Structure 1
Amino acid sequence: MGHEPAFYIPYLAIGYVIYRFMVQCTNESASILRSHKPFIMDGRIRLTDFVLRSISKAFFYFFCTWIVVIGAVVWSPEVHLTSMFTMLLTFPVVIVNMVWWSMCMSLIGARHADTGEMINTALRFGMLLTPILWVGDRFPPGTYFWWAVQANPAYHLINFVRAPLLGQPIDPITIWYLGIMTVLGWVLAALLYRRYARFVPLWI
């Protein structure tokens, strides 16, 4: 990939486990409401409780796989263990964004039963388009492929966590991108939930 193993292996490991967390949140939320139909029909539990449950499950698996990243960091002389503490500030941003995203996906999954299969296929293809197996700075700024990378929300979520872990500064574009996406995402989730949550018992 044109980079030293001491840099590339932690780069790959961090990107993979974060992307896997996002994929699991998406897949779980797309089917979470239909899989809990009896509880929803009972009407005593909020729909957001199921979404938070799916994210908690994904976070548990993420925590278990983080041992791979720790091994890669310990092995690499370019990464210091103290940089792991940056995750206490950066990873909550990923979780906040996955909550609103999962809320939207849960409503879509409740309305369309085949959403999970479609999303799963798209996410597998999306991994090839996201700088996980390859390094995102390989394209000159302003080129078509550079814009394609910058438009990818998964790239910014991963890079926001990965860059400090690797001792790199966070790109200002990533900070602005995530700030705008977080605000607009929560507005969208609130509007969709307020408008369509009452139809979920009919859809499932």
Structure 2
Amino acid sequence: MDVAVIEREGGHLSGHSGRNDLLVGLKATRVWGTLGWHDIRQRYRRSIIGPFWFTLSTAIMVVVLGALYSTLLHQEVRSYLPYLAVGLVIWQYMSSIANESCNAFIGSAYLIKQIRIPLTVHVCRIVWRNFAIMLHSLPVVVLLLIAFGRWPTWEFLLVPLGLFLLVLHGVWIGTAFGILCARFRDIPPIIQNLTQVVFFFTPVMWSPEVLKDRGWVAEYNPLYHMIEIVRAPLTGRPIRWESWVWSIALLIVGFAFAQYLMRRTRHRVPYWL
């Protein structure tokens, strides 16, 4: 199925190199879009509610954790549950990107060795798949905001931009991790363990205000700012422009690093698989 889709939609993608792999791959929307949607359909084949299992599981997790941690952290439920819901949804997206990207090229070795297409296509396939799943979980946040009478303000207009930046972050992270993990097979378990540890140092279930004079733990955590560019405008929290600066600056540096790796190693990746 994957080979047939690429041959049908991506026959024009053969003319690329390490210099323009990222650009050509990003433009191949029909290829990675079709492949990513096929992955979702296969994962939930014969399931009654399909990807909406993520919506249900997110709702259960938010209610259970919200009831517990709102008491432990002395937080008002009305504001804490939406805060927690957005944090969990975005964290699940980012952690899935990080972990699945480790096998972005390893898992697609049969395609990479058969058909010459941009390596970025395999990364975008993972990013699109997880972004679509994340969109299935966002209704939980909307329902919580409506239930607690938290209606959107003008800041809500920044949410699409924040989501777009998260997608771009997923591309450079997936490209960098995919290349490094294809070369060094010890990196995937390291990333999986780091993801679990970093979760507790990132304001997902707790807010920086809880730390008081130690709030720098969050301020210098780029993952916090990546979450905040969506969470703040969506939940009506004060917009912190430092988070946008952090996110955009990290995006520029990340793409520069991914481009460097692609130019240096694009021709070697098939031999590492």
Q: Same fold (TM over 0.5)?
A: yes
Q: Read off the aligned partner of 2:85 and give its amino acid letter.
A: A
Question: 2:267 matched to which residue of 1?
Answer: 198
Alignment partner, residue 127 of structure 2: 55
- Inter-partner Cα distance in structure 2 for 1:132 and 1:76: 20
Distance 2:114 2:258 in 1: 24
1:94–1:157 contact (8 Å) kept in structure 2: yes
Indicate whether 1:72 and 2:144 are aligned.
yes
Deviation readout 1:119-155 (Å, 9 max, x if unpaired): 1221112111111111122233xx4x32221121110
Counterpart residue type for residue 151 of structure 2: H
Query: Aligned residue for 1:138?
Result: 210
1:56-102: CA deviations, max 9, x gaps?
1111211122222222222222x214665542122111111121111
User: What residue number does 2:97 align with?
Assistant: 25
Question: Is the contact between residue 10 and residue 76 of structure 1 (CA under 8 Å) also seen in structure 2?
Answer: no
1:95 is aligned to 167
SS in 2 for 1:32: coil
Amino acid at match of 2:171: V
Distance between the aligned counterparts of 2:193 and 2:140, measured in 1? 25
Distance (whole Å) between structure 2 residues aligned to residue 117 and residue 101 of structure 1 = 16
Find out whether 1:185 has 2:254 as its counterpart. Answer: yes
Aligned length: 200
SS in 1 for 2:258: helix
2:219 aligned residue: 150
SS at match of 1:173: helix
2:191 is the counterpart of 1:122: no
CA positional deviation for 1:31: 0.4
Question: For residues 28 and 57 of structure 1, what CA distance do their matches in structure 2 show?
Answer: 11
Displacement of 1:157 = 0.4
Identity %: 28
- Structure 1: stretches of 5+ with no match in the other structure: none
* Structure 2: distance between partners of 1:63 and 1:197: 32
1:192 partner letter: L
1:92-113 C-alpha deviation (Å, 9 max, x unpaired): 1111112111110111111122
Q: Helix, strand or coil for the counterpart of 1:2?
A: coil
Letter aligned with residue 194 of structure 1: R
Judge conservation of contact 2:104–2:174 (CA < 8 Å) in 1: no
RMSD value, Cα? 1.6
Could you say what secondary structure the match of 1:34 adopts?
A: coil
4+ residue runs over 4 A deviation: 81-85
Structure 2: gaps spanning 5 or more residues: 1-72
Alignment TM-score, normalising by the size of structure 2: 0.69
Higher deviation after alignment, 13-22 or 169-178: 169-178
The TM-score, its normalising length taken from structure 1, stands at 0.91
> Measured at CA, do residues 57 and 86 of structure 1 come closer, stay the same or move farther in structure 2, by a change above 3 Å?
same
> Are the aligned partners of 1:25 and 1:54 in contact in 2 as well (CA < 8 Å)?
yes
Separation of aligned partners in 2, 1:157 and 1:35: 27
Are 2:232 and 1:163 equivalent residues in the alignment?
yes
Aligned partners of 1:63, 1:178: CA distance in 2, in Å?
A: 20
**CA distance, structure 2, for counterparts of residue 72 and residue 84 of structure 1:** 15
For 2:236 and 2:222, locate their aligned partners in 1 and report how far apart those are by CA, in whole Å: 22
1:4 pairs, out of 47, 59, 76, with 76
